[in-house]
A = this chain, B = another copy of it.
């Protein structure tokens, strides 16, 4: 257990496992690290994971938590059009935690960072009742202009790279004791694989706006819409592959729970077929695609006619925000096939139920 170990012994066990990178000029062990910023600017973002809020110890290993903590941060850097260079990690752990959990976390961080060459250059350790992992990630723009949320223009193509709804489906499976039914979806929740290279590729291709989808497609698309002063109309058929992939999981969850889907779908579209079991399964899969969080795919807008870089595909278009839906509610500037989703319950909020 951690409490049977000194802080220095624990750090000595962790340090050799941490990923190293070319941008590191001074690594862990001093008051601060020094990281190269050849662009003359650096991109920085921070995200925190809290036990029982963002992960459950009975589902996620230390490795899984390290992987997720890194990936959700790396995706934020990618969403600016940058390549990740360095991370620092603040870790709060209870004394009863096995040392192997902590070294597993370091291995998960390292595995998630490996493809992009980002290093862990520093950190801090503290004891606490619950595990808290706060990661700060840095990236280099390589001369690119940062791609903000505010640059979408009417008539731009809306494009998406990555999986949609897989993480929410995996979480729902675990939540209903169906984790063994579809390991790939469970893994998509435990260890998301955002398309990090797509971020700089989008910037190079002229993306006008971009963000990481952490809180759900409708909610995050709404953020681009509001920041840019536009509307976004999504084309549900563009997610046919994800919808088909999630159908069986939706049926399995519904068979166990008997729950109706959360009803994020436009009320006007709840037709007679929705009453059927198959219709409700499809509606649940649709909820996951439209509102499920934590896949960390990238949503970007490009001038019409842009040849989209792989793996982006067109999923909608930017429209005049004044004509799309109710301007008052969250996500109101976002429509799906021209219809406004209900203005409540879209995505989630940490403090409200």
A40 touching B38, Cβ below 8 Å: yes
Instruction: Given A48-B92, A89-B46, A350-B7, verify A126-B80 contact (CB < 8 Å).
Output: no
Taking CB atoms and an 8 Å cut-off, the chain A residues in 86-137 that contact chain B are 86, 88-92, 95, 121-130, 132, 134, 136-137
Instruction: Given A46-B88, A77-B32, verify A132-B129 contact (CB < 8 Å).
Output: no
Closest B residue, CB atoms, query A353: B3
Instruction: Given A43-B32, A76-B31, verify A54-B126 contact (CB < 8 Å).
Output: yes
Q: Tell me if A289 counts as interface (CB < 8 A to partner B).
A: no
Binary per-residue interface labels of chain A (41-78) against chain B in the complex, 1 for a CB within 8 Å, 0 otherwise? 11111111110011000000000000000000001110
Most buried by B among A48, A91, A121, A211: A48
Sort chain A's interface into a size bin: 35 or more
A130 touching B127, Cβ below 8 Å: no
Could you say which residues of chain B place their CB within 8 Å of the CB of A124? 46-48, 134
- Cα A33 to Cα B41 in complex, Å, equals 10
Q: Tell me if A315 counts as interface (CB < 8 A to partner B).
A: no
Instruction: Given A47-B90, A48-B90, A350-B125, verify A146-B34 contact (CB < 8 Å).
Output: yes
Cross-chain contact of A82 among B32, B49, B86 (Cβ < 8 A): B32
A33 touching B7, Cβ below 8 Å: no
A sample of 27 inter-chain contacts (CB < 8 A) reads A7-B350, A10-B351, A30-B149, A30-B150, A31-B45, A31-B76, A31-B80, A32-B43, A32-B79, A32-B139, A38-B40, A42-B42, A44-B86, A44-B122, A44-B136, A46-B89, A46-B136, A47-B90, A48-B91, A48-B132, A50-B92, A50-B126, A50-B132, A53-B126, A54-B126, A90-B136, A124-B134
A50 touching B127, Cβ below 8 Å: yes
Closest B residue, CB atoms, query A136: B136
Known: A34-B41, A45-B122. 7 other contacts (CB 8 A): A3-B351, A36-B40, A38-B40, A45-B88, A46-B123, A50-B127, A50-B132
B45 touching A35, Cβ below 8 Å: no
- Cα A34 to Cα B26 in complex, Å, equals 21
B26 touching A352, Cβ below 8 Å: no
Taking CB atoms and an 8 Å cut-off, the chain A residues in 1-35 that contact chain B are 2-3, 5-8, 10, 25-26, 29-35
Interface residues of A (CB under 8 A from B): 2-3, 5-8, 10, 25-26, 29-50, 53-54, 75-77, 79-80, 82, 86, 88-92, 95, 121-130, 132, 134, 136-139, 141, 146, 148-150, 210-212, 227, 349-352
Cross-chain contact of A42 among B8, B37, B54, B125 (Cβ < 8 A): B37
Closest B residue, CB atoms, query A72: B124
Cross-chain contact of A53 among B30, B44, B127 (Cβ < 8 A): B127
B54 touching A43, Cβ below 8 Å: no
